[in-house]
Every structure is written in structure tokens, then in C-alpha cells.
Amino acid sequence: MRKFSPEYLRRTRDGMWTGSRDALRDLSLSDRNRVLDVGCGTGELSRVLDAESPGDVVGVDADTELLAVARRETGLGAVAGDATRLPFVDDAFDLVVCQALLVNLPRPTDALASFSRVSSDLVAAVEPDNAAVSVDSTVSAEVALERSVREAYIEGVRTDVALGDRLPDLFREAGLRDVRTRRHFHRKVTEPPYDELDVRVAARKADGSGLATHEAELRRTLSDSAYDALRRDWRQMGKAVVEQMQDERYRRAEVVPFDVVVGRVPDRL
Ligand SMILES: C[S@@+](CC[C@H](N)C(=O)[O-])C[C@H]1O[C@@H](n2cnc3c(N)ncnc32)[C@H](O)[C@@H]1O
């Protein structure tokens, strides 16, 4: 299981649902009684669910360190458990939802079967289409390098991180009915005045440590010399980012499309 740091989750979810929440419409949050956020991490989605629903929101995650942060920062219930064998009785919730979980699982359908078992009504997933991410930057090398890294990473990672339009089919295969999909675009902008996190991310580009977090996946598809060349170009690009930041010229915009898929649990016999 890939490990996520609280800082990574904070950075990648920053502002995700502060604008429009229209793509969450089919989750019917305004009339839910008990909502489960599976793979809740630090509770980034749990917070949104709690704000939009009158019902109780509970998180579950396999990573106990992230759960401790979720409990502390959201004040909501959060328990340890595996998404594919949820530690709840049948029909315990009327909405079971995850965000950026299925793309990290080797067998996402096992998780959907478990979601269906513990939901009496709706099952939903909010998953990034990592193959359709777009980046724009005042450091032109950043655009091309990020594209190369993304492509090599998608090829090298052992799970399907770009489920995209296959997600509704997975829902149907899991026996869910009335499957609906909406797309939400998460736009993240880095521009002056930069905050502490922006500065840290730029420093991690310049020293190569940001790229190193994906080293195992990248080395599965790149030769040693190709990886070394990529690392050299990446660090050079990072130094250009830091330089531009020093005189406030650096701007970067990234758009990550998320598919929000919702299905209904069939009546049990
Ligand atoms: C990309 S993070 C998403 C976290 C959160 N949903 C969000 O959007 O910020 C994926 C989360 O799924 C959790 N996870 C991965 N595999 C899991 C499993 N089999 N059972 C439960 N949680 C799992 C990870 O610990 C991590 O918190």
C-alpha cells in the first residue's frame, strides 16, 4: 500500500471543494443519515461531507497515523480498517463514498463490493483521471518534464491511476444500479504571494526529493541512464522555479479532472 504524508494530502486537496460542489449533487448529501468516507486519510473529504450533510460522518483508513490527524483536525469519528473488508455490519450507512482511493487499489472491484455490503442506498467514488492532468508554468521545461514523469509513472505504477471512463463500468460490474457520472475540475494555482508550502514544494523540485518519491515506479519503465538524465533535468527545472520565485515571476496552474460516480445498491433478497 502506498504511503501518503499529511502534507501531501493537504497540498493535493487544497481548495478542491472550496468553489463549486455541484459535482457532488448525486450523492444526495442533504438527506443522508450515516455517511462513511473510505480511505479518508486526513479527512479532507470527510470535512466536506460533514458540512453538506445533516447525518453522522465516519472515516475509515488503513493508515493509523493519518487517522490520528483526521480525528484531531475534523473532530469526526475515524476508525482503522481495510476498504476491501470494511469493519461494519451490512447496511450500516446510507452513503459509502471514497476520494482518490480506488486508483490506489490493485483490485478496486473488491472495495466496491465491500462498499455495497455496508451501504443500504448509495455508493460513490471521486477519482482523479491522472492521464488527463494539465499543467501550465512560467518555467517552460516544467510542463514537458511533468508530462514525461506522469506518463512514465502511470506506466510503472501497479494500480490503475487513470480509471477515467472505466469507473462507471466498475460500478455496474459490482452490481450497482442507476450509475451516474459528473466531472469536477480541481484547479490549483501557484502565484505570488507564495506560502510556506509553495516554497517547500519548489525546494523539493530543486533538490530532486520530490521526484525521488516516485523513483520505484519510474525505474520500472525508464533505464538507469534515462532516470539519471530525468533527475538532472528535473533538478535544473526546480532551480529555475526557485529563481523565478525569488523575484516573484513564477506562476503555475494545474488542472486535475476528478470523476464523481454514484450508484444505487440493489434491493437485497
Ligand atoms: C490518495 S489518499 C486519499 C485520502 C483522502 N480520501 C483524500 O482525498 O485526501 C488514499 C488513502 O487511501 C488509504 N488506503 C489505501 N489503501 C487502503 C485500503 N486497502 N484500505 C483502507 N484505506 C486505504 C491510504 O492510507 C490513504 O489515506
User: For residue 194, which amino acid is it?
Assistant: Y
Residue owning the nearest CA to atom 24 of ligand 1 = 39
Question: pLDDT class for 19, splitting at 50, 70, 90?
Answer: confident
- Mean pLDDT is lowest, of 9-18, 64-73, 182-191, for 9-18
Q: Cell 473532530 sits at which residue?
A: 75
Distance CA 113, CA 121 (A): 13
Distance CA 256, CA 265 (A): 29
Burial environment of residue 54 by CB neighbours within 10 A (0 to 12, 13 to 18, 19 or more): exposed
Whole-model pTM? 0.92
Domains and CATH numbers, the chain: 6-129+160-186+257-264 (3.40.50.150)
Q: How far is the CA of 115 from the centre of ligand 1 (A)?
A: 14
Torsion of CA 145, 149, 151, 152, to 10 degrees: 140
Burial environment of residue 203 by CB neighbours within 10 A (0 to 12, 13 to 18, 19 or more): middle
* Mean pLDDT confidence for 23-40: 98
- State the DSSP string of 180-210: EEEEEEEEEEE-SSP-HHHHHHHHHHHTSHH
Residue 74 is inside which H or E element, if any?
helix 64-74
Write the pLDDT tens digit of every residue in 54-84: 999 999 999 999 999 999 999 999 999 999 9
Residue 230 is inside which H or E element, if any?
helix 224-246
- Mean pLDDT is lowest, of 85-99, 155-169, 248-262, for 155-169
Q: According to DSSP H, which parts of 75-139 are helical?
A: 108-118
Looking from the CA of residue 105, the nearest atom of ligand 1 is: 16
| Cα atoms in the 13 Å half-sphere on the side-chain side of 86 | 29
Of 149, 120, 161, nearest in space to 210 by CA: 149
* Mean pLDDT confidence for 215-239: 95
Looking from the CA of residue 82, the nearest atom of ligand 1 is: 20
Specify the pairing of strand 252-264 against strand 134-137. antiparallel
Write the pLDDT tens digit of every residue in 131-171: 899 999 999 999 999 999 999 999 988 888 878 779 999 99
Residue ranges around ligand 1 (CB below 6 Å): 1, 4, 9, 13, 39-41, 44-45, 61-63, 66, 82-84, 99-101, 104-105
Report the chain's C-alpha Rg in angstroms.
19
Which three cell numbers, joined as nine digits, stand for 21? 460542489
Q: Which pLDDT score, from 0 to 100, does residue 191 have?
A: 97
Residue 97 is inside which H or E element, if any?
strand 93-99
Ramachandran region, residue 22 (left: φ > 0; alpha: ψ -120 to 50; beta: rest): alpha
In DSSP terms, 38 is beta-bridged to 60, 98
Q: What is the DSSP letter of 91?
A: T
Looking from the CA of residue 66, the nearest atom of ligand 1 is: 27
